[in-house]
A and B are shown apart, each in its own frame.
Chain A
Amino acid sequence: MSDDKQRLAGELQRHGITRRAFMKFCTSVASAMALSPAMATQMADRLAAIQRQSVIWLSFQECTGCTESITRSHKPSLENLIFDFVSLDYHHTLQAASGHAAEEAREAAMKAHGGKYILLVDGSIPIKDGGVYSTIAGMTNLDMLEHMAKDAAAIVAIGSCAAFGGLPAAAPNPTGAVPVSDIVHDKPIINIPGCPPIPVVMTGVLAHVLTFGIPELDGMGRPKAFYGDTIHDRCYRRPYYDRGLFAKSFDDEGARKGWCLYELGCKGPITHNACATVKWNNGTSFPIQSGHGCIGCSEPDFWDAGGFYKALSTGSANPGSWAAASLAVGAAAGLASGFLNKGAKAEAERKHQAITVDDMRGKSDE
């Protein structure tokens, strides 16, 4: 029982949350991750047993949007509670301590749970000029990540910045921002991209990691449970795409009828995420349902993939701008080549020798 107080079960009790309420929560998480519902009980048992300080959150070159997403709630939710419990001891935005005390707490947590803690990272890591463009307590992000990753059991890269580089890595990438996977190569890394990721995706994956270990990942290290399908695969506006009914501009007749947003730049076909099924704000809506095309925020380089409002089939460069120059070069080359040809022709005519039939008979040995 007193051991319970150190565990999540104790924390839940302190907040007056019944085991029944916790079961309901685990059932919905298991359902969202397409796990067998029978595993909800297992998940509840194991989650209840997790201790504090088993998770350390590192914030690097980020906008804090991922933290906002995971804690976004004007009323406390069970997710927030669990989350606060597991990462209370080191999280820049949520922790009580600051300054040296905070850094000491981080080191202490690392030592106490060596080899067993999960590292959560949000934000990219700048590496240009020795990594000076983002530092915490005088330590560069690069050094801190390498130091903390050594003893971690696994690393979860939260948000597109940590997973793929994100906004800081967009052209011209002045700070040399790179994702976590470019720095750490010897630990399992789970990427949870999105700008920001959907809250239940973050908590669901975290719950899975803490209870059953690392979920099945795709080629880019993303959990297949949430990133296996593209938005296009599960979009409720697919019937319109298939029938070729597209909105031509925002708020036109087609847009009001809820037609497909392909022509308005929707990147749904190439974006892997759970927005179309899980949705945002507790299942309220997602960008396409609200009439705006998907911007592809959970894929790498989405900032540099051409405009958000240009269809996927358009180029991200502007080939037309080279037209005049190309025509001029081609014309000049053509004229030059033409002159050379004329010269060769004139030369051939000049060298032309008339021959007679007798000449031909005599030249049989040539």
Chain B
Amino acid sequence: MSPLSLQIEVAQPKTGMARAVLGELLDHLKIFATSGLTRVIDIQGLPLSDADRDELTGLLGEGEVSAQLNSFGQSQINETRYAGIWWLRHYTEDSALLSELIEITDMPDILRSQQADITSAIEHLAQTIGQQAQENKP
């Protein structure tokens, strides 16, 4: 079901927030470079107008890495043109935007393989190998 589109005649102009956010990102990037302290910013919690958001995505751009996560809906995880600044978009199964974040880090946590999942994988792989051995027995 596509979202209803309604014409609202009130313009949402640029407020200058995008540049302010850039300044904040620079500070956090510097902190990460020296101390390794990561930072996550929830974009939906920022007072950005539509024009501000477009300005911010334009300024940050797209970098070398583009990853897609498929889990209860899609998630787009891209590094921006500035190394260490990542833009994450999480969608529901109906392609509605669930949450949107900027992470200052060398690798967003959600991209890493999680400990609990690795433990689970060890079990399953062992099982699969065991099964293969069984099937290969003459």
A residues sitting closer than 8 Å to B (CB atoms) are 1, 9, 13, 18-21, 23-25, 27-28, 30-31, 34, 36-38, 40-41, 48, 75, 77-78, 236, 239, 257-258, 282-285, 289
Contact = CB atoms under 8 A, between A and B. Distances in A.
Contacts of B90: 24, 27-28
Interface string B1-38: 10110111110000000000000000000000000000
Given A37-B40, A239-B8, A284-B1, A18 B96 contact: no
Given A19-B114, A31-B44, A24 B8 contact: no
B71 interface: yes
B99 interface: yes
Interface in B96-122: 96-99, 101, 109-110, 114-117, 119-120
Contact of A41 (B4, B10, B109): B109
A22 to B, nearest CB: 9
Contact of B45 (A28, A34, A285): A34
Interface in B59-111: 69, 71-72, 75, 90, 92-94, 96-99, 101, 109-110
Contact of A13 (B39, B97, B116): B116
B42 interface: yes
Nearest to A245: B9
A1 to B, nearest CB: 8
Contacts, number: 81
Given A75-B93, A236-B8, A24 B117 contact: no
Residue from B3, B7, B71 having most chain A Cβ neighbours under 10 A: B71
B117 to A, nearest CB: 5
Interface residues of B, number: 35
Contacts of A24: 69, 71-72, 75, 90, 98, 110
A354 B18 CA distance: 95
A18 B71 contact: yes
Contacts of A40: 40
Contact of A18 (B41, B94, B114): B114
Given A13-B116, A31-B42, A283-B96, 12 more contacts: A18-B117, A19-B115, A19-B117, A20-B114, A21-B71, A24-B98, A34-B45, A37-B101, A40-B40, A258-B7, A282-B96, A284-B94
Q: Which of A13, A31, A40, A257 has the most CB of B within 10 A?
A: A31
Chain B: interface secondary structure? mixed
A289 B9 CA distance: 16
A78 B99 contact: no
Nearest to A25: B72
Nearest to A23: B110
Contacts of B116: 9, 13, 19, 48
A258 B39 CA distance: 40
Given A19-B117, A20-B71, A24-B90, A38 B40 contact: yes
Nearest to B3: A284
B72 A23 contact: no
A37 B41 contact: yes
28 contacts: A1-B119, A13-B116, A13-B120, A18-B114, A19-B116, A20-B69, A20-B110, A24-B69, A24-B72, A27-B90, A27-B101, A27-B110, A28-B99, A31-B44, A31-B99, A31-B101, A34-B45, A37-B101, A75-B93, A236-B6, A239-B9, A282-B92, A282-B94, A282-B96, A283-B96, A283-B97, A284-B3, A285-B4
A251 to B, nearest CB: 15
A31 B45 contact: yes
A72 to B, nearest CB: 14
Nearest to B118: A19
A206 B40 CA distance: 24
